[in-house]
Structure 1
Amino acid sequence: MTTAQDRRVGTGFPRPTERLSRAQSRARSADVVLSPERMGAARHTRHSFARSMLRRAAQQRWQVTRERWEIDSGGRGEAVYRVDAAGVRLRFVVFSTELDERQRTDRVIAESWDVTAALIEGPLSEERMSSLRDHVPGQETGRADAGSLVWTRANRSQRFFDYTVERLAEGRQPDPAAFGDAAYVLRSTAFYSNGKFGLQDFDAFPAEHPLAAPYRAQMLAAWLLRELSYDLVEHCAAQRSAAAVRLSAGWRRFLGLGNATGLGMVPYIVNHPRVLDAWCAMRELPLAHALGQATDPQDGRVARLAELLAGAQRYFAERDTLVTTPYAPGPELAEHLGRVAELLAEYRARGTVGATPTSFAWQALHDAAERIDVEACGVFDSLVVELYDELDEDVEQLLRCDESLALQPEQDCGELLDSIDSAYAWVDAFDFGEPEQSHYFWFVSADSEEPRRGRRGHDPGEQVEQPVDIARAVARLRDDLRNADPASSVAEFLLARPWHRGTACRVQALAATPWAEVRTNLLARDFLPLHLQRFQLAVYGMDNYSPQSTDWLRVTLFSGAPRAADVAAGIAADDWMFTAKPEGEHA
């Protein structure tokens, strides 16, 4: 069995702050961090985009005001929410309708949605409102003005939306059993930004802008969609009955925003390797910092972790109907977490973990959780990071990264081969002489406008195959380099073999980047896209993972998160992960 020390990165790779650089030297190796199974076990943390956005909003007491509400009894019309954020005035402009159920689809190629909206900066004149009205509902067919930051759209969950309206109109709260294990009334289908359709380029934001951090604008738009969902169901209920009630405090916290994701997320992290490294660092460096802290059984953090573990156990035990295959069902995961909780209780009582005395309980518990179950370890890692907030500001500095990859034509072929043997030894796990390792090819569908994968030699489209085959490409480059003169330059090598240029450039540029390459082969028959999708969704801050196939899954965002009134009062409620279902409020 490998020890914790064997799994360390052991690199001096620089990070933007001294504390992060120290954590990097203690962090886990790329072979561990980027193994697909561990990526698939990731859960959101205090540094996920949704969490960090709301924490900053509460720190600065952002004020959300419903400035315009011209909505009829069916939830159709226009609304404007004003957001005053650290001296910057933003608006969330909403166009709401009600589609026929046959028109409602979450696919990229949809042409109509129940809700479309724009997050904008700057004054909202009637002329500008008219322009937004002309362009935003069309989404892909529209054109944004320079002050528009995010365009988004969402659909009603017809079953949950109508059910919630009906219950509130009757003067009752929803029954949690009616929602199943993922509660929402709107589900988002896209968040467009950063230049698309003419939207403002985020590079124009000064460092002090409240939305300067990557993904902060999209998370704000998503959170405002969640606020809108409350207002819509309460408004429709009130229009239906004078006896209508508003959602209870518990329900207004518990309801999230629905979402679904497919294969399109997988090529993204292959094509943005430095973004992947930053996202891994956002998770791994706080974890390395936490696991390296000395502990004492009487420390308040021990009691706090016990509370968090108990909450996670309850959360997963409740999810006894959520579809999770091929992952463990919620109750089974709760049982695994119970075993970790028993070890923590042992430490509190006797200062031992598994009968072994320790002054570093977090590391011992992490190692024990990993032996119990990889998903239980993923949950434990998210919880232990909750105990330390001193890296919150540091972590945000990780997210802006230079994605340029520059070729070094003067490098010797021998040096390039050494880089591959050192940084890309993981490709040896795949024998590309075996058909199973090249079973799939990836392409972009002309019909759906989305990434797809086909069976090689069976499905059409190989002629437009996308270059996501990093493991195969590096293996082929390595084979040809072994037959080249090691003293010759990469430029000479590429003159004879130009098809290797992109791969050679990638290896050169990323060889020293700790977490840039997923340890998998996307072409393999046994490759499971869900692992990489779940990792990215955890980075965003989503949960309630419910796979619908090997290629796509449903999730919720902001379930349990603070509401606009909480944020305005400075209440971050920063421990809102794994929020239990409302009790006693539906009778």
Structure 2
Amino acid sequence: MGASRHTRHSFARSFLRAAAAQRWTVTRESWDVDGQGRGEAVYRIDAGGHELRFVAFSTVLADGQRTDRVVAEAWDITAALVEGVWDEARRSELRAQVPRQESGRADAATLVWTRANRSSRFFDYVVDRLARGMQPDPAALGDAAYLVRSTAFYSNGKFGLADFGRLRPGHPLRLPYRSQMLTAWLLRELSHDLVEHCAAAKSPHAVALEGDWRCFLGLGNATGLGMVPYVINHPQVLDAWCAARELPLAYALHQPTSPRDARTARVRLLLGRAAEYYRERDTLATAPYLPGPELAAQLDKVAEVLDGYAATGLVLGKRTDRAWQDLHTAAEEIGLEARGVVDAVLVEVYDDLDADVEALLRCDQNTQVAPARTCGELRTELNGRYDWVSRHDCGEPGRQAHFWFSSQDNEEPRRGRRGVDPGEEVEHPVDIARAVAELLDDLEHAEPRQLVAEFLLAHPWHRGTTARVQSLAGLPYTEVRANLLADDFLPLHLQRFQLALYGMDNYSPQSTDWLRVTLFSGAPRARDVAAGTDHDWFFVRKPRRDAQ
């Protein structure tokens, strides 16, 4: 999971592919913003005949007021994605509520609330360069360039927002996570408009972002521990997300290949591009993951293997017509992170499963006990599907070193040190390995023919675990096979897996618990999508034109 990379099936990629195919249009309907970027903006979106609006409220915070945390007092930008009736009364209500975020209240026709802060490093720098008639200098923007950094995308009933079930079949945002991706993309569009507007207010000689810079600047994001308990508490979602990665890869690995096939050339081109992409990222802090140049060197070795296949039809001395399986294996021997990139490249060249993968994302998240089953059947199920639990002996030193809880002050998940930090009395039940082990222990003393209902009457504390195990039967990817309480558990691996599925890259861990990333770097802008263009933005390199 920690070697995951974004693919064509990541939510950002699939969203823009659909938007471009349907030629969604984005119109800046109103723009009441002063020269510093303070004010309001409304964008109207025509998504296949369905009208939505993105409403943004912009201000300028002092640097000391900006924070990466989810919960804060104020933000440079707050915004909402809405549908339905649009009039001055609705706009006034949004103006009163959206900037309040956690303390505000949404109406049932509002789909998403979001907020973001200007980058203290990049926003004013880009404004100044454009005002002077110049494009940004790639060296000054570093390895992960963005203008604003988002901290949350709220939806699905929170603060009164529309429930996801409200979106009926045929709605353009009916697919899970599409509302959030649209909102994030529009937030990035707003950030580009803001820097150009502020630059024009600063100088009559200002220019707009042009060339590669039009698309290169992405949206920043900072992500913490909250993602980890999410996938534990939503096992059916985890199953769908893993399937969206594993099934396209399995399909690609089993496709026939030829040394002179167009796909072989395409894979080679993308591997070379990926190597250059990571070679450029020589200042990005990536530990505990490989620095960009080291990963690039590994990809160069994989490319040599593919070059040999293209020239001779052999992979490491073996003649094959299934080169992708052999390339995948060779990449694993070179390094797991290299294999992650190779797998993403292989999936990229097959579009056969796009619709099928999207269909996977809708899943039934209900869990319930099957009371008429027997304890023997439950024990057999546990011994078969949860045999991995025996690898995590919770009685060993360090196996229960941590506990998870929600901070009352920051309203965010946290890890505490058991026996040291306060909060154990409100510990989150994310310890699946421990819970299953304890259930198995008590089942050993139950008669095989005893009904699960009778067992739970005597052991009611096992109800949740029993419902989970019984309800997830038949789903192969529902459990993270790790002990989240252990002293050596690294949350970053799970976070990176999720972020890759969103479509993010430039992973820059700031500790063992949180990291910074970018989204939509290199992605098409609104006018590109309206023209039906979803250009190739897989491993987009830095603009290489003269910075002057």
Normalising by structure 2, report the TM-score.
0.99
- Match of 1:92, SS state, is strand
CA deviation vs aligned residue, 1:163-218 (integer Å, no higher than 9, x gap): 01111111111111111100001011110111111111121212211111000010
1:483 Cα shift?
2.1
Confirm or deny that 1:54 pairs with 2:16: yes
For 1:123, give the aligned amino acid.
V
For 2:135, give the aligned amino acid.
Q
The whole-number CA distance in structure 2 between the counterparts of 1:263 and 1:206 is 32
The structure 2 residue matched to 1:66, chosen from 21, 28, 31, is: 28
Higher mean Cα deviation, 472-481 or 270-279?
Answer: 472-481
1:518 Cα shift?
0.8
Does the 8 Å contact 1:156/1:187 carry over to 2? yes
The whole-number CA distance in structure 2 between the counterparts of 1:520 and 1:581 is 37
For 2:538, give the aligned amino acid.
M
Confirm or deny that 1:577 pairs with 2:538: yes
1:569 Cα shift?
0.5
1:507 Cα shift?
1.1
1:482 Cα shift?
1.5
For 2:424, give the aligned amino acid.
E
For 1:116, give the aligned amino acid.
T
1:515 Cα shift?
0.3
Match in the other structure for 2:314: 352
RMSD: 0.9
CA deviation vs aligned residue, 1:424-467 (integer Å, no higher than 9, x gap): 00011111111211110111111111000111111111111110
For 1:491, give the aligned amino acid.
A
Superposed counterparts of 1:481-492, under 5 Å: 481-492=443-454
For 2:537, give the aligned amino acid.
W
Match in the other structure for 2:4: 42
The structure 1 residue matched to 2:465, chosen from 503, 509, 515, is: 503
Confirm or deny that 1:150 pairs with 2:129: no
1:351 Cα shift?
0.6
The whole-number CA distance in structure 1 between the counterparts of 2:170 and 2:449 is 49
The whole-number CA distance in structure 2 between the counterparts of 1:293 and 1:166 is 51
Match in the other structure for 1:5: none
The whole-number CA distance in structure 1 between the counterparts of 2:196 and 2:162 is 33
Confirm or deny that 1:110 pairs with 2:72: yes
For 2:255, give the aligned amino acid.
Q
Match in the other structure for 1:91: 53
| Runs of at least 5 residues in structure 2 that lack an aligned partner in the other structure | none
The whole-number CA distance in structure 1 between the counterparts of 2:214 and 2:228 is 33
The structure 1 residue matched to 2:305, chosen from 333, 336, 343, is: 343
Confirm or deny that 1:389 pairs with 2:354: no
The alignment covers a number of residue pairs equal to: 548
- Match of 2:489, SS state, is coil
Match in the other structure for 1:307: 269
For 1:245, give the aligned amino acid.
V
Does the 8 Å contact 1:248/1:585 carry over to 2? no
- Match of 2:121, SS state, is helix
Confirm or deny that 1:186 pairs with 2:186: no
For 2:227, give the aligned amino acid.
M
| Runs of at least 5 residues in structure 1 that lack an aligned partner in the other structure | 1-38
1:249 Cα shift?
2.2
Match in the other structure for 1:208: 170
Confirm or deny that 1:514 pairs with 2:476: yes
For 1:178, give the aligned amino acid.
A
Superposed counterparts of 1:452-531, under 5 Å: 452-531=414-493
The whole-number CA distance in structure 1 between the counterparts of 2:241 and 2:70 is 25
The structure 1 residue matched to 2:249, chosen from 278, 283, 287, is: 287
CA deviation vs aligned residue, 1:517-552 (integer Å, no higher than 9, x gap): 011000000000000000000111110000000000
The whole-number CA distance in structure 1 between the counterparts of 2:71 and 2:52 is 29
Confirm or deny that 1:240 pairs with 2:202: yes
Confirm or deny that 1:586 pairs with 2:547: yes
1:269 Cα shift?
0.1
- Match of 1:549, SS state, is coil
For 2:400, give the aligned amino acid.
S
1:108 Cα shift?
2.3
1:109 Cα shift?
2.2
The whole-number CA distance in structure 2 between the counterparts of 1:581 and 1:359 is 36
Confirm or deny that 1:441 pairs with 2:403: yes
1:106 Cα shift?
2.6
1:231 Cα shift?
0.6
The whole-number CA distance in structure 2 between the counterparts of 1:158 and 1:339 is 38
Match in the other structure for 1:369: 331
- Match of 2:117, SS state, is strand
Match in the other structure for 1:26: none
The whole-number CA distance in structure 1 between the counterparts of 2:546 and 2:226 is 39
1:120 Cα shift?
0.7
The whole-number CA distance in structure 1 between the counterparts of 2:525 and 2:448 is 62
The structure 2 residue matched to 1:278, chosen from 240, 247, 250, is: 240
For 2:297, give the aligned amino acid.
E
Match in the other structure for 1:16: none
CA deviation vs aligned residue, 1:558-578 (integer Å, no higher than 9, x gap): 0010111110000111x3121
For 2:221, give the aligned amino acid.
N
- Match of 1:409, SS state, is coil
The whole-number CA distance in structure 1 between the counterparts of 2:150 and 2:390 is 41
Does the 8 Å contact 1:276/1:515 carry over to 2? yes
The whole-number CA distance in structure 1 between the counterparts of 2:393 and 2:98 is 49
The whole-number CA distance in structure 2 between the counterparts of 1:99 and 1:166 is 18
For 2:545, give the aligned amino acid.
G
1:501 Cα shift?
1.1
1:498 Cα shift?
1.3
- Match of 1:432, SS state, is coil
Match in the other structure for 2:188: 226
1:511 Cα shift?
3.0
The structure 2 residue matched to 1:101, chosen from 44, 63, 69, is: 63
- Match of 1:466, SS state, is coil
Does the 8 Å contact 1:469/1:522 carry over to 2? yes
Confirm or deny that 1:334 pairs with 2:296: yes
For 2:539, give the aligned amino acid.
F
CA deviation vs aligned residue, 1:324-371 (integer Å, no higher than 9, x gap): 000110100001111111111111011111111111001110111111
CA deviation vs aligned residue, 1:495-514 (integer Å, no higher than 9, x gap): 22111111111111113211
Does the 8 Å contact 1:151/1:191 carry over to 2? yes
Identical-pair percentage: 67
Structure 1 residue runs of 4 or more that deviate by more than 4 Å after TM superposition: none
Match in the other structure for 2:513: 551
Superposed counterparts of 1:560-571, under 5 Å: 560-571=522-533
The whole-number CA distance in structure 1 between the counterparts of 2:105 and 2:38 is 23
